[in-house]
Amino acid sequence: MPQYQNLHLFKADFFKALAHPMRIRILEVLSEGDKNVNELQSILGSEGSAVSQQLSVLRNKNVVYGIKEGTTVIYSLRDPLIKDLLTVAKQIFDNHLVDAISLLEVIRKEP
């Protein structure tokens, strides 16, 4: 398989791992610092099984990793650039929002 196809497959797989609102939120929380499941559950206001399920997807796709400390697993971002990616995604969202607001203002000015 050509190298660029490997890269495209990696990117597609990576973005599939991000393709869930709770997984995005987990990554946002972990970009602020390492957390265990109970901390994530409390911050997200979600039950532990839902958080654990989404963490499992992120672990399997090598987006996060866990280190066992006693009976607790502490989760971290595998790559700190994920924080930058989330920031860029928010900027893209903001740009779309600005465009939508501008369009709405134009429409409201029409007779």
Residue the block writes with tokens 């650039």 = 81
Task: Give the pLDDT score at 101.
Answer: 85
Tell me the per-residue pLDDT of 36-45, one tens digit each, with 9 for 90 and over.
Answer: 999 999 999 9
Instruction: Reply yes or no on whether the pLDDT at 1 is more than 70.
Output: no
What string of DSSP letters covers 61-108?
TTSEEEEEETTEEEEEES-THHHHHHHHHHHHHHHHHHHHHHHHHHHH
SS3 content of the chain, % helix, strand, coil (to 5): 70, 15, 20
Tell me the per-residue pLDDT of 71-96, one tens digit each, with 9 for 90 and over.
Answer: 999 999 999 999 999 999 999 988 88
CATH number of 3-79: 1.10.10.10
Closest CA to 64 of 86, 51, 82: 82
Q: What's the mean per-residue pLDDT of the chain?
A: 92
